[in-house]
Amino acid sequence: MIKSTREHNLLDVIILAAGKGTRMYSNKPKVLHQLAAKPILQYVIDRAKELGSNSINVVYGHGGEQVKEVISDADLNWCEQKQQLGTAHAVLQAIDYIEDSADVLILYGDVPLLTTETLKQLLIEKQSSSLSLLTAKLKNPTGYGRIIRKKGNLDKNSSVEKTSIEKIIEEKDASGEIKKINEINSGVMVIDGDKLKLWLQKINNKNAQGEYYLTDLIELAVQSGEIITSYITADNKEIEGINNKIQLAELEREFQKKQAIKLMEAGVTIMDPCRFDLRGVIDTGTDVHIDVNVIIEGECKIGNDVSIGANTIIKNSIIGDGVTIFENCVIEESVIKSGCNIGPFARLRPETKLDENAKIGNFVEIKKAHIAKGSKVNHLSYIGDTEMGENVNIGAGTITCNYDGAYKHVTKIGDNAFIGSNTALVAPIEIGEGATIGAGSTLSKNAEAGKLTFSRATQKTISGWKRPAK
């Protein structure tokens, strides 16, 4: 008989995250290590939220206080497991939060790539039983619990070969024959709340590891005459856990590849999807071209016809249409309007605002500055705490001296000003519209509009002077 659909059933989620993560060799709890700049555990919590869970219960152990601090989410119930006595013991720590009538979904905090779609499939399977397992068929099943199915008795309603599941045998308890079975337990399961409570009490730790195995639920369910349903994952990466830095790196690449594919499907040109990293979210226009080794962080919006050069990092920024970013730029919390050219080797620090068609060249650092339309800072300059008008030309080596050792001061530069090379503008200072500043000047007073101002020692030539000789 088909039970009521999940929309009508409560869903309580238990996330097991008490494992020490010894093989990470880190002072940080395993589930706080990051995948694409987000803690591994956060991915699992996000999936639980997407499913519209009634409660999300996180079983924590080692380093738990740190986990609570970093994840800091009022919607979660935190359940401490003081000693790691096994997965069944871990689930028991959350049992007070579980409704009898709920479907209970058990997830692992160190399995970040599981998709909501897969979990929904599993929940559909669960509608026709009181326990449903997420399994996978692996070429190399070593280390995993093996799924023991009854011979024959094919599931006629399914395209996949499925016979009813009888039990799970852990690797460490398995004989040579059992070890050859390549269908494994992912660890993810859905079970009726009341049955979970009943069967958990019956689990003992009489096994090779002396642990309370959650997987023993299967045999208990079968003994009670229940049919176990299952869903076999289409993508085995989804069920992979992270136990060491090698697996962390593998799943990072897998995740990045999937993100790159989504962007390419939407029309973005990515020169090499293996050398692209998105650590956050990106919104892209049409004809965006991304060269190799680009890293996008936080939330970024990229307009149409934008080209991003190799080895560039963009963080929390908005890039307008037709912008060209050449190689090796670092752009952070900046707003860049259409038609600007940036780099190569430019650094735009927070609160940089570039209006249309501005040009920022090589070895230029900009911080908290507004640069109006068509202005150019083409070479080797520092522009900070500055309000710059339109069509200004800043010569190579110009520095705004914004810091007096205690306070920051503002530099104002009017439209059409021309600042000669190697000029130091000691702020607070104002350069009038259309002013010209002679190269090599150090100015600490305002420069009048439309006039030439310079501060430079007069050039002298001494006739008859001779170099000292040995």
Nearer to ligand UD1, 88 or 260 (CB): 88
Instruction: For residue 359, give the 3-state DSSP assignment.
Output: strand
CB of 173 to ligand UD1, least distance (A): 9
How far apart CA 340 and CA 351 sit, in angstroms, is: 16
How far apart CA 415 and CA 370 sit, in angstroms, is: 12
The answer to whether residue 89 is catalytic is no
Say which of 62, 370, 379, 409 is annotated catalytic: 379
Please confirm whether the linkage preceding 39 is cis (ω < 30° from 0).
no
CB of 117 to ligand UD1, least distance (A): 20
Nearer to ligand UD1, 102 or 111 (CB): 111
Please confirm whether the linkage preceding 428 is cis (ω < 30° from 0).
yes
CB of 315 to ligand UD1, least distance (A): 31
Residue nearest ligand UD1, Cβ-based: 145
CB of 79 to ligand UD1, least distance (A): 10
Residues that bind ligand UD1 (CB under 6 A): 16-19, 59, 81, 84-87, 89-90, 108-110, 144-145, 168, 170, 184-187, 213-215, 241
Q: How large is the C-alpha radius of gyration of the chain?
A: 31
CB of 88 to ligand UD1, least distance (A): 7
Cα–Cα distance list, 373 to 111, 112, 148, 341 (Å)? 49, 45, 70, 12
CB of 36 to ligand UD1, least distance (A): 20
Cα–Cα distance list, 231 to 158, 368, 414 (Å)? 10, 54, 68
Strand partners, 102: none
Query: H or E segment at 401?
Result: strand 399-401
How far apart CA 350 and CA 11 sit, in angstroms, is: 43
CB of 18 to ligand UD1, least distance (A): 3
Around 452, how many Cα atoms within 13 Å sit in the side-chain half-sphere?
4
Nearer to ligand UD1, 218 or 372 (CB): 218
Nearer to ligand UD1, 208 or 452 (CB): 208
> b/e map of 387-419 (b: 16 or more CB within 10 Å)?
ebbbbbbbbbbbbbbbeeeeeeebbbbbbbbbb
CB of 68 to ligand UD1, least distance (A): 15
> Hunting for tokens 């119930």 — which residue is that?
77
Nearer to ligand UD1, 57 or 81 (CB): 81
How far apart CA 198 and CA 201 sit, in angstroms, is: 6
How far apart CA 265 and CA 278 sit, in angstroms, is: 15
Q: Compute how many other C-beta atoms are within 10 angstroms of the C-beta atom of residue 155.
A: 13
Nearer to ligand UD1, 144 or 276 (CB): 144
Nearer to ligand UD1, 87 or 352 (CB): 87
C-alpha closest to that of 55 among 110, 95, 109, 89: 95
Nearer to ligand UD1, 83 or 458 (CB): 83
Is 346:329 a contact under the CB 8 Å cutoff? yes
DSSP string, 32-81: GSEETTEEHHHHHHHHHHHTT-SEEEEEE-TTHHHHHHHH--TTEEEEE-
Catalytic sites, residue numbers? 379
